[in-house]
């Protein structure tokens, strides 16, 4: 048995593949384009593992995808491949349309052709699982109920608009063609292998480097934080038990304002890796101009997946963030490897002198 996982050299995808192969002998075919956030170093633990087959290609490369499907005959395709950073989507939206919309369309067409040619019982057992985000739902007010699967889509950035489009395509391919799909919409992930343009790894790496910790606006933007291993376990649960055509919101039940996230990291680092001068890392906090269209609050109502499939996150924010900070302290070589010149130029462009 085999599964095909797209975008599996990225942050969430690589964690999923590592977790999967730690629990199963089922072969994983890993398809990744290796853009700036795709990193084979994330998969170093799988080197020499015959159950892990890596192929560098774009999900929009229909010929390569079709060949892989034909050769490996996967029982499921899990689509993690996406451009995923809001700030980058503001500066360069076309890449997000290309990957998240056109790429998803071409992947769906390749998978549909493969699935339609399968004989039973393989055809009936096949699944296409699409991994998406809570950002498709827009922004919440301070007293609004968390996002449920029935919320209307109200995306506010090029990134979230492109992901909303991909979700709609997946739904349409199910209702029009009968493709057996499942969709998950997750809250903000954090954990090992997180590319350091996102808030938590950026704060950790900047703090250790003695750089300012850039906080957008007043820092009171609220997010629901989900430890990446919990997200992986939820996806495995949805793949195994999810009802065809359904969407499942995956959240951590951990709403936190950004400034509190940063202060928590500083407090942990003060204990685990104190500054030589004895001062708190919180002294490095620096406020920068808020980004355009910054959503104020996201929150996930994850009752459906708990009620229907019995899944709940194993980590609290306190346990997950401690594991995350310790991982970055223990893996400084990985951090140095991903912080290329192009990455440094991006941080300077985005945060100015606060980088």
Strand partners, 15: none
Of residues 67, 51, 101, 64, the one with CA closest to residue 81: 101
* pLDDT tens profile 293-346: 889 999 999 999 999 999 999 999 999 999 999 999 999 999 988 876 554 464
Lookup: tokens for 60:
């929009």
Question: Is the pLDDT score of 189 beyond 60?
Answer: yes
Q: Give the C-alpha separation, 35 to 83, whole Å.
A: 9
Q: Give the C-alpha separation, 262 to 165, whole Å.
A: 32
Catalytic residues: 134-135, 159
Helices and strands (H, E) in the chain, number of each type: 14, 12
Q: Report CA Rg, the chain.
A: 20
Of residues 66, 75, 63, 58, the one with CA closest to residue 4: 75
Q: Give the C-alpha separation, 355 to 339, whole Å.
A: 13
The one-character DSSP state at 52 is E
CATH architecture of 2-190+226-253+293-314: 3-Layer(aba) Sandwich (3.40)
Q: Give the C-alpha separation, 101 to 158, whole Å.
A: 11
Question: Is the pLDDT score of 43 beyond 50?
Answer: yes
Distances (CA, A) of 307 to 132, 262, 282, 311: 20, 33, 40, 8
Angle, helices 317-330/199-208, rounded to nearest 10 degrees: 50
Confidence band (pLDDT; 50, 70, 90) for 36?
A: confident
pLDDT of residue 185: 98
Domain boundaries, the chain: 2-190+226-253+293-314
Of residues 272, 250, 283, 249, the one with CA closest to residue 321: 272
Residues 6+ apart with CB under 8 A from 318: none
pLDDT of residue 337: 83
Distances (CA, A) of 81 to 5, 57, 238: 9, 11, 18
Mean pLDDT of 41-69: 96
Distances (CA, A) of 159 to 84, 149, 151, 349: 6, 19, 18, 19
Q: Give the C-alpha separation, 154 to 75, whole Å.
A: 33
pLDDT of residue 85: 77
Of residues 305, 245, 239, 249, the one with CA closest to residue 5: 239
Mean pLDDT of 206-232: 96
Q: At 242, give phi and psi (nearest 5°).
A: -65, 150
Of residues 134, 81, 84, the one with CA closest to residue 111: 81
* pLDDT tens profile 86-96: 888 998 999 99
Question: Is the pLDDT score of 352 beyond 60?
Answer: no
On average, the pLDDT of the chain sits at 94
Mean pLDDT of 54-62: 97
Cβ atoms of 54 and 28 closer than 8 Å? no
Q: What's CA 354's distance to the chain center, in Å?
A: 26
Q: Give the C-alpha separation, 93 to 99, whole Å.
A: 10
Under DSSP, is residue 105 helix (H, G, I), strand (E, B) or coil? helix
């Amino acid at each position: 048995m085999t599964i095909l996982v797209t975008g599996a050299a990225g942050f969430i995808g690589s964690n999923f593949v590592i977790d999967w192969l730690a629990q199963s002998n089922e072969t994983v075919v890993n398809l990744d384009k290796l853009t700036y956030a795709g990193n084979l170093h994330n998969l170093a633990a799988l080197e020499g593992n015959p159950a892990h087959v890596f192929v560098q290609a774009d999900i929009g490369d229909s010929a390569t995808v079709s060949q892989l499907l034909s050769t490996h005959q996967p029982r499921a395709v899990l689509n993690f491949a996406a451009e995923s950073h809001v700030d980058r989507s503001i500066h360069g939206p076309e890449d997000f349309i290309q990957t998240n919309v056109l790429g998803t369309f071409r992947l769906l067409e390749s998978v549909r052709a493969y699935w339609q040619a399968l004989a039973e019982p393989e055809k009936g057992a096949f699944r296409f699982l699409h991994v998406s985000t809570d950002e498709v739902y827009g922004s919440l007010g301070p007293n609004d109920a968390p996002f449920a699967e029935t919320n209307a889509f109200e995306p506010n950035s090029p990134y979230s608009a492109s992901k909303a489009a991909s979700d709609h395509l997946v739904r349409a391919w199910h209702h029009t063609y009968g493709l057996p799909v499942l969709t998950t919409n997750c809250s903000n992930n954090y954990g090992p292998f997180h590319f350091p343009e996102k808030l938590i790894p950026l704060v950790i790496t900047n703090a250790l480097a003695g750089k300012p910790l850039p906080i957008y606006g007043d820092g009171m933007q609220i997010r629901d934080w989900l430890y990446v291993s919990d997200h992986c376990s939820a996806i495995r649960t949805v793949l195994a038990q999810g009802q065809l055509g359904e969407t499942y919101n995956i959240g951590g039940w951990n709403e936190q304002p950004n400034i509190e996230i940063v202060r928590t990291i500083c407090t942990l680092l003060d204990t685990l890796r104190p500054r030589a001068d004895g001062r708190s890392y919180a002294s490095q906090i620096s406020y920068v101009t808020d980004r355009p269209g910054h959503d104020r609050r996201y929150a996930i109502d994850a009752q459906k997946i708990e009620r229907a499939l019995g899944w709940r996150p194993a980590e609290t924010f306190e346990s997950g963030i401690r594991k995350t900070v310790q991982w970055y302290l223990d893996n400084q070589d990985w951090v140095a490897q991903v912080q290329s010149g192009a990455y440094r130029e991006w941080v300077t462009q985005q945060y100015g002198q606060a980088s």
